[in-house]
Structure 1
Amino acid sequence: MLRIKVKQIEAMEAVLLKRIEENALSFFKRRTKNRIGDAEARMYISHIISKVSRYNIFEEKDILNFLRLCITNGLDFEHEEEFSWAMDILVTRNLSGGEKMYRIEKGFS
């Protein structure tokens, strides 16, 4: 029987997180037309990844979509009164991350 140790899982998670961060950096730089340096962009991305994990959003495509919404509407758009409906979706526990992002994107269209 194959057994995976906690340290192995943590190592895999770190590799996946690094890949997501690099893809997010590339995405961010394209969306902002390289107007922001790498260090500042990485801080922004780190903040986004930390935030979306609290909302149980873990899929890379959903993280990138949330990043796009933050670039377009502001880093903490979900805390703004005009977007309170987005926060209502984000804190709904029985929705998957993908479903949350689908509903939020639908709300913006």
Structure 2
Amino acid sequence: MPKITYVEHSGKEHVVDVATGMTVMEGARDNGVPGIDADCGGACACSTCHAYIDPAWAEKLPPVESMEEDMLDFAYETKPGLSRLTCQVKVTDDLDGLVVQLPEKQI
């Protein structure tokens, strides 16, 4: 099972086992990681699961699709090439070790 490290804005880390096929958002939500609100439940309709992908991992993820790109316009302090909606990132074995940084707040 892939391990994902969620880093709160304060720097506190949460290393979580997330089952393949789940999303990075579901891994945070199901393990009580603060900072991922996921108000829409993963429908790509709210941007409250916004996170920054560690630069070492940014190129390893599938590209942002248009719906996600549109919703990122509503996220707090996006960073080009690093901001993703974690509900749109499916966990695969290749993402073992993924690190995501949580923003200061969700809108």
| Greater gyration radius | 1
Judge same fold: TM > 0.5, yes or no. no
State the TM bucket, normalised to the shorter chain: under 0.3
Which has the larger share of helix? Answer: 1
Q: TM-score, normalised by structure 1?
A: 0.25
Higher relative contact order structure (alpha carbons within 8 Å, sequence separation ≥ 6): 2
* TM score, norm. by length of structure 2: 0.26
